[in-house]
């Protein structure tokens, strides 16, 4: 089979087209013919931190078709179309085939394209768990989404509106209209306005991008409000990890999310996409042979939506 395997030429990390044996599913695993993969910050940040999968093949958000199964697999049959987040199962999506535990997969809704299905898992679940699990979002919540474009932001805007919140999105000039079309009630262009120094207050701030002091975020929270950091610069993430507990004294709370794969969450999101309630925002689609260029584009930080790789 074809793979786009991690390698280094000099100091430059690259994904290189190689041939490898098609894996055989072990007991409890299914072998999936990969149709489409979406890339995430988890992919390129793993490369930056030297955390390379054993297979040397990245790509966690996978949609494809079951072509074989190992012993003791009863929840899928050959021919089933499936979706998974394989970040905790060794990645492996940037290849013609991937074998992974059947417990990682869910059925793709009929009528939903493989591309749209692959755009759901990590980004959608990150937005959902940030808003719902840690953010405790409810109807009427005033939400500020810092980073309303990119991979996670469009999901956060649409899900926040789905839950009945008043949504303010923060993005660059190029993404203002997109954020508005996704349903945001208000949009702030951070290149023209300092969104953390005015008199506006929020019940929930979801920090998807950016690199701001925790104190500045907290000042913009209403009493009882919550800051949930799900991404952004590594310095923002590390500061929240180290100091979030200290800033959580009092009524305003500071949380950091480590999104975890969850089959129920994934099924919930796939169904919202299948019925048209939420629309994945796809920026660019690359063929498998150009996965390295896709990764470079995503890591540059200017993507307006999901970056996908067509494998089939």
* pLDDT tens for each residue of 123-167: 999 999 999 999 999 999 999 999 999 999 999 999 999 999 999
CATH number at residue 32: 3.90.180.10
Tell me if 130 is assigned to some domain: yes
Tell me the pLDDT band of 13, cut-offs 50, 70 and 90: low
155 within 8 A of 136, measured Cβ to Cβ:
no
User: How far is Cα 47 from Cα 32, in angstroms, rounded to an integer?
Assistant: 24
Cα distances (Å, whole numbers) of residue 220 to 186, 215, 227, 242, 298: 16, 9, 10, 21, 30
Q: List, in sequence order, the alpha helices (H) in the chain.
A: 41-48, 114-118, 121-128, 153-162, 176-181, 214-219, 234-247, 263-274, 291-299
Please give the residue that has the higher pLDDT: either 51 or 276: 276
Q: Residue 212 and residue 73: Cα distance in Å, rounded?
A: 47
Do 215 and 150 lie in one domain? The reply is: yes
Task: Tell me the per-residue pLDDT of 79-92, one tens digit each, with 9 for 90 and over.
Answer: 999 999 999 999 99
User: 226 and 151, same structural domain?
Assistant: yes
Domain region containing 65: 2-119+280-310
* pLDDT 10s digits, 243-285: 888 888 889 999 999 889 999 999 999 999 999 999 999 999 9
**Residue 12 confidence (pLDDT) above 80:** no
Q: DSSP labels for 242-266?
A: HHHHHHTSSS-EEEE------HHHH
**pTM strictly above 0.75:** yes
220/98 Cα distance (integer angstroms): 45
| 237 and 128 within one domain | yes
Same domain, 96 and 219: no
State the Cα–Cα distance between residues 297 and 303, nearest whole angstrom. Answer: 7
Shared domain for 6 and 113, answered yes or no, is yes
Q: Which residues does 214 contact at the CB level (< 8 Å), separation at least 6?
A: 227, 239, 240, 243, 244, 247, 254
Q: How many domains does the chain have?
A: 2
């Amino acid at each position: 089979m074809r793979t786009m395997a991690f390698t280094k030429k000099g100091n430059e990390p690259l994904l290189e087209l190689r041939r490898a044996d098609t894996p055989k599913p072990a007991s409890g695993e299914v072998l999936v013919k990969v149709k489409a993969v979406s890339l995430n910050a988890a992919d390129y940040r793993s490369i930056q931190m030297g955390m390379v999968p054993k297979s040397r093949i990245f790509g966690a958000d996978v949609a494809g078709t079951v072509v074989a199964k190992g012993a003791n697999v009863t929840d899928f049959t050959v021919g089933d179309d499936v979706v998974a987040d394989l970040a905790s199962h060794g990645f492996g999506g940037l290849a013609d085939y991937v074998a992974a535990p059947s417990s990682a997969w869910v059925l793709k809704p009929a009528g939903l394209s493989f591309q749209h299905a692959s755009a759901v898992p990590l980004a959608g679940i990150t937005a959902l768990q940030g808003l719902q699990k840690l953010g405790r979002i409810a109807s009427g919540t005033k939400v500020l989404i810092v980073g309303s474009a990119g991979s996670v932001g469009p999901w956060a805007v649409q899900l926040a509106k789905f839950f009945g919140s008043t949504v303010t999105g923060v993005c660059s000039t190029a993404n203002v209209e997109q954020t508005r079309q996704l349903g945001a009630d208000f949009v702030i262009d951070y290149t023209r306005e300092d969104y953390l120094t005015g008199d506006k207050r929020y019940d929930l701030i979801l920090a998807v991008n950016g690199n701001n002091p925790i104190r500045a975020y907290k000042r913009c929270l209403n009493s009882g409000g919550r800051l949930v950091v799900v991404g952004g610069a590594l310095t923002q993430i590390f500061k929240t990890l180290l100091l979030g507990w200290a800033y959580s004294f009092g009524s305003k709370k500071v949380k950091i999310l480590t999104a975890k794969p969850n089959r129920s969450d994934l099924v919930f999101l796939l169904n919202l996409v299948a019925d048209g309630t939420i629309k994945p925002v796809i920026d660019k689609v690359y063929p498998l042979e150009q996965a390295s260029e896709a990764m470079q584009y995503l890591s540059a930080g200017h993507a307006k939506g999901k970056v996908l790789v067509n494998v089939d």
